[in-house]
Amino acid sequence: MIKKFLSGKKWFFEDTIPGEPPSFTWGAEIKKQIYSGKSKFQNFFIFDTKEFDRILILDGLVQLSTRHEHVYHEMLVHPAFLYHPNPKKVLIIGGGDGGVLREVVRYKTVEEIFLVDIDEKVIEVSKKYLPSVSQGAFNDKRLKIFAEDALQFVKNYKNYFDIIIDDLTDPTGPSLALWKSAFYRDIRRALKEDGVASFQTAYLKERFARRTRKKLKKTFPSFKIHKAFVGCFPFDEHTFSVGSPKINFDKVSLRTIKARYKKLKIKTKYYSPEIHFASRVIPGFPY
């Protein structure tokens, strides 16, 4: 929702998804509208703001801010990759803004990257108006882009991917069907036995997010939740869930994660081996 005040200032306000407590509304002052438009799937807005820099909004919900997106994308990618000893084949579901892709292409062991996003306009708009997010990653020669429904796409693969990153919008509109147990089972089948899947699983306390994490825990023999506060998602800490058919996350030590991270020779803004383990500490009451 966009509202103009008597002072002449314009603000964008976002509500939580109806029926999904806790109930909360937050806003950001709009400095300038950069883009508005729509595809056959969703509506787009991009604004420049004072507190969050540039923000991308789909169907009224904030997807990222250029000031905070590194926290989200690093936590969605690096824990999963560093649990795995040698990732080569990667599938990104959603992720049309290019932030996950930017982190994935930093891994030199990766030989093949598939990115499946039903709405190719997200890629088009993000490349033009949010270039700092992808940082040229769409030009990587290992990448193949599929403008398809991921629900059907993953059914074509069995025991194929080392890493699957599930970077979906909230469970409304075109992504709603991808928050179901049947889709999670298809993702597991598409993974190799020693593969790792990473999911953005929304807020720590949100009801649908808690249900989602329970579904994932039932689907994958090995399961962990990581969390981080992402400034443009201010309702609560955001969660990133990882699952594997075979890799026991509890047996991957800090020493191992440090060694793998050092070997990469990359610099991350937020993620570190220490954050990797600190982010797994979840409060004792039920989530």
Which residues are tagged catalytic?
167
SS3 string, the chain, reads CEEECCCCCEEEEEECCCCCCCCCEEEEEEEEEEEEEECCCCEEEEEEECCCEEEEEECCEEEEECCCHHHHHHHHHHHHHHHCCCCCEEEEEECCCCHHHHHHCCCCCCCEEEEECCCHHHHHHHHHHCHHHHCCHHHCCCEEEECCCHHHHHHHCCCCEEEEEEECCCCCHHHHHHHCHHHHHHHHHHEEEEEEEEEEEEECCCHHHHHHHHHHHHHCCEEEEEEECCCCCCCCCEEEEEEECCCCHHHCCHHHHHHHHHHHCCCCCCCCHHHHHHCCCCCCCCC
